[in-house]
Amino acid sequence: MSESNFPYRVRHYLDAGTEAMDRETARKLHGAREIALAHVSAKSAPLGLAGFGHHSVEWLWPALRSVIALLVVALGVAATSYWDSVQQAAENEEVDTALLADELPIDAYLDRGFDAWLKRSSPQ
């Protein structure tokens, strides 16, 4: 028998036994149950520090899960952005190296048409 089903099974057996019970006994049991429930709610109403930790975890866990999920997404976006900038820097380095290693006269770099040609012929 699992622990989660135990209270329901006990309730089932107790309910089955009440069919043959007389009215006076049922009234007394009902009164005893009301008194017991009043004591249980009175005991659990003031929470001490020991109970606070358990209840705060139950209350904070859904919010904490959302915050963790948002942090993971933010870290993923930041990592993707960083990786993209590293790749772009590597591409720029290759283009600069190719341009500087080529045998062009210095006047070609000063020409405005050369800059326009570079922008048109770039692989983007």
User: What is the spatial distance between Cα 33 and Cα 70, in angstroms, rounded to a whole number?
Assistant: 47
The answer, yes or no, to whether residue 103 has pLDDT greater than 60, is: yes
The answer to whether residues 64 and 38 belong to one domain is no
Distance CA 95, CA 24 (A): 97
| Whether residues 54 and 101 fall in one domain | yes
Residues 91, 64 within the same domain: yes
Q: Tell me the pLDDT tens digit for each residue of 20-68.
A: 778 888 888 888 888 888 877 554 444 555 555 555 666 677 888 889 9
What confidence score (pLDDT) does residue 86 get? 94
Q: Are residues 59 and 99 in the same domain?
A: yes
Encode pLDDT of 78-92 as tens digits.
999 999 999 999 998
Q: What is the pLDDT of residue 52?
A: 54
Query: Domain tally for the chain?
Result: 2
Residues 87 and 29 in one domain: no
Mark which of 30, 46, 62 sits at the end of a domain.
Answer: 46
Q: Which domain holds residue 121?
A: 48-124
More confident residue, 117 or 68: 68
pLDDT: is 79 or 119 the higher one? 79
Higher pLDDT residue, 54 or 18?
Answer: 18
Predicted TM-score (pTM) of this structure: 0.37
Question: What is the per-residue pLDDT for 43?
Answer: 47
pLDDT (0 to 100) of residue 96: 84
Alpha helices in 1-124 (DSSP H): 6-17, 23-44, 49-101, 106-110, 112-121
